[in-house]
Amino acid sequence: MTENGKPKLAMYWGASCGGCEISILNIHENILVVDEIFDVAFFPCIADFKVQHVKDYPDEYIDVCLFNGAIRTSENEEMAKLLRQKSKVLVAYGSCAYEGCIPALSNLTSKEATFNAVYLDNPSIDNPEGVLPQPVSNVPEGELEIPVFYNTVKSLGQVVEVDYFLPGCPPEPPQIWAVLQVVVAALTQGAPLPPAGSIIGAGTSAVCEECPLDKHEKTITRFYRPYEITPEPNLCLLEQGLVCMGPATRNGCGALCPQVGMGCRGCYGPPEGVIDQGAKMLSAIASVIGAGDPSMEEDDLEREIQAVVDTIPDPAGTFYRFSMAHSLLKRAQVNGGNGKGELS
Amino acid sequence: MSKHFEPVIVGFLCNWCSYRAADLAGTARIHYAPNMRPIRVMCSGRVDPQFVLKALKDGADGVMIAGCHPGECHYVEGNIKALRRFLLLKRMLTQLGVEEERVQLVWASASEGIILAEAVDRMTEEVRDLGPLNWQENVLGRGNGHVVSIQVETELESEEV
């Protein structure tokens, strides 16, 4: 390892898709500036480093570590703890590390059900002996170990202390660049860093605030899934019955999805002051349901509203698409009652 | 050792009808289950789904939301909003494995102390039959493949460096 006095940068992935790594490259020619300023100390996606290299570093050797991906396996957790120990600033980069994201949707079911779908019961699977991954297996050459697959997916912040959270799936390039500039200014000119625990590279309000679509009073009598209708341009998608997470999602992305006719997915997490994004979205969606009025009989009222509610096929998966690990309940109760993550 | 299970039910009662119904139940000396812990809210439409989830997470075995009958809301249709939220929340709680009986919506006007009392009695027995929810232990606890239960050796190795 050559010592050139440059600040050290690391990026590592837990349970993630790799899109966060790509998003770093998405800052275009600024990546050259990053290379100029930082010395890459660990970044398996782009350079050949081994875990042993990191273990050999002194504590807090890495100046900035961008950790993307959720904590799904014991390997993810081990690396999170190792990198926490070796880094001055640990950033939960992207929605998975920040709040669980898509991997955490499996918290709506059990490890057994996940294994069943992945290794046993699926049209594309050929596994006649029903082999499942085992943490330890004996082969003629000796004992082999693979990481333990946890039942519950956690966010990075639920496993180690995190300095900053950078939301997004993936974070938007201008936001990434803005954050890197702040970090660089702090490292090179001693400029102040934001307070620890901050959510950086995002706004504080809701996506609706920066969404340019026309908005009016909303009274929905039926919700549609994206494939069912072609939305009118320039008109609020929620008004047209498409579930748009805008009202319960932090802004900062520029409302890119609604502008191309796709309802906000919710990837920037809850806005300032909201604990549970899904519950807030549920509240917002229920508020725009137009069915039912006070003059109706109680039974008719309930029936009419229920019919509208039934047009949302997967409320938990829709409202908690990105924030299941950070929701109040964190996961589904699998053994009790009717809970299998499915609607009966 | 099997201890008798007393369910804890958090009740969100609207100021104008159901809280007064509870008051009436008291002054009329109606006997009913002491398991519901009332919290007064200005309207059943004020009940944020976050309140319900937080109660369930923090130890409640059930949550009762009570308000004015449809058409009698002090704020015209706050209770209709509560009903819309409740029906959607119930659908979502099913996915989260929370039994339907654990979250209930009740209409009780200020003169219906007996209706509220009966609803509390009925719900207490239904939740008692289901058993404790105990979300922290049963769902997030160690028995459910919890992350914390597995030791990771990073500290030891780094000391050798």
Domain boundary among A199, A230, A257: A199
The pLDDT of residue B12 is above 90: yes
Residues A185 and A218 in one domain: no
Render pLDDT for A196-241 as a digit per residue (tens, 0 to 9): 999 999 999 999 999 999 999 989 999 999 999 999 999 999 999 9
Render pLDDT for B90-103 as a digit per residue (tens, 0 to 9): 999 999 999 999 99
DSSP H or E segment with residue A23: helix A19-25
Gap from B33 CA to chain A (nearest CA, Å): 24
Residues A216 and A139 in one domain: no
DSSP H or E segment with residue A35: helix A30-37
Whether omega for the bond prior to residue A247 falls within 30 degrees of 0, making it cis, is no
Residues A127 and A175 in one domain: no
Contacts 24+ apart (CB under 8 A), A174-179: A175/A201, A175/A202, A175/A252, A175/A253, A176/A23, A176/A24, A176/A26, A176/A27, A176/A201, A177/A27, A177/A30, A179/A91
Of the partner residues B69, B73, B91, the one whose CB lies closest to the CB of residue A315: B91
pLDDT band at B156 (very low <50, low <70, confident <90, very high): very low
Which chain A residues are closer than 8 Å to B85 by Cβ? 282-283, 286-287
Query: How far is the C-alpha of A19 from the C-alpha of A32, rounded, in Å?
Result: 19
pLDDT at A251: 95
pLDDT at A335: 63
DSSP 3-state of B107? strand
pLDDT at A184: 83
With CA atoms as reference, report the closest residue to A169 among A258, A102, A267, A265: A267
With respect to residue A333, please indicate whether it lies within any of the assigned structural domains: no
pLDDT at B137: 85
With respect to residue A171, please indicate whether it lies within any of the assigned structural domains: yes
Place of tokens 């997967």: A314
DSSP 3-state of A106? helix
Residues A95 and A220 in one domain: no
pLDDT at A235: 96
Backbone angles phi, psi at A69, to 5 degrees: 100, 150
At a CB cut-off of 8 Å and minimum separation 6, what does A33 contact? none
With respect to residue B139, please indicate whether it lies within any of the assigned structural domains: no
pLDDT at B161: 37
Query: How many distinct structural domains can be found in chain A?
Result: 3
pLDDT at A204: 94
Residues A182 and A260 in one domain: no
Its sign, for the CA torsion A98, A102, A106, A111, is negative
List helix spans (H) across chain B.
18-27, 49-57, 78-95, 113-130, 155-160
The pLDDT of residue A10 is above 80: yes
pLDDT at B143: 52
With CA atoms as reference, report the closest residue to B40 among B16, B77, B14: B14
pTM for the predicted model, two decimal places = 0.90
The pLDDT of residue B145 is above 50: no
- A108-122, A279-293, B30-44: which range is least confident on average? A108-122
Residues 19-38 on B with a CB inside 8 Å of A are none
Place of tokens 């014991």: A74
Residues A252 and A194 in one domain: no
- A270-274, B1-5, B128-132: which range is least confident on average? B1-5
With respect to residue A319, please indicate whether it lies within any of the assigned structural domains: no
With respect to residue B4, please indicate whether it lies within any of the assigned structural domains: no
Residues A241 and A278 in one domain: yes
With respect to residue A131, please indicate whether it lies within any of the assigned structural domains: yes
Residues A142 and A194 in one domain: no
Query: How far is the C-alpha of A317 from the C-alpha of B104, rounded, in Å?
Result: 23
Angle at A35 between CA A31 and CA A37, to 5 degrees: 115
Burial class (CB in 10 A: 0-12, 13-18, 19+), A124: exposed
Of the partner residues B85, B95, B138, the one whose CB lies closest to the CB of residue A108: B95
Residues A213 and A247 in one domain: yes
Range of the domain at B74: 9-133
> B157, A292: Cβ pair inside 8 Å?
no
Amino acid sitting at position A322: F
Residues A183 and A65 in one domain: yes
Query: How far is the C-alpha of A65 from the C-alpha of A53, rounded, in Å?
Result: 15
Query: How far is the C-alpha of B115 from the C-alpha of A149, rounded, in Å?
Result: 50
pLDDT at B147: 40
pLDDT band at A67 (very low <50, low <70, confident <90, very high): very high
Q: Count of CB contacts below 8 A, A vs B? A: 187
CATH number at residue B25: 3.40.50.960
Q: What is the ipTM of this complex?
A: 0.91
Residues A264 and A290 in one domain: yes
The pLDDT of residue A13 is above 80: yes
Of the partner residues A287, A330, A336, the one whose CB lies closest to the CB of residue B140: A330
pLDDT mean across residues, chain A: 91
List helix spans (H) across A66-172.
74-86, 95-99, 111-115
With respect to residue B104, please indicate whether it lies within any of the assigned structural domains: yes
With respect to residue B46, please indicate whether it lies within any of the assigned structural domains: yes
Residues A57 and A19 in one domain: yes
Burial class (CB in 10 A: 0-12, 13-18, 19+), A52: exposed
The pLDDT of residue A170 is above 60: yes
Mean pLDDT of A118-138: 90
pLDDT at A293: 86
Render pLDDT for A77-98 as a digit per residue (tens, 0 to 9): 999 999 999 999 999 999 999 9
pLDDT band at B142 (very low <50, low <70, confident <90, very high): low
pLDDT at A336: 45
With respect to residue B74, please indicate whether it lies within any of the assigned structural domains: yes
With respect to residue B44, please indicate whether it lies within any of the assigned structural domains: yes
CATH number at residue A39: 3.40.50.700
Of the partner residues B53, B88, B139, the one whose CB lies closest to the CB of residue A331: B139
Query: How many distinct structural domains can be found in chain B?
Result: 1
With respect to residue A233, please indicate whether it lies within any of the assigned structural domains: yes
Residue of A nearest to B87 (CA): A306
With respect to residue B154, please indicate whether it lies within any of the assigned structural domains: no
Range of the domain at A134: 110-151
With respect to residue A230, please indicate whether it lies within any of the assigned structural domains: yes
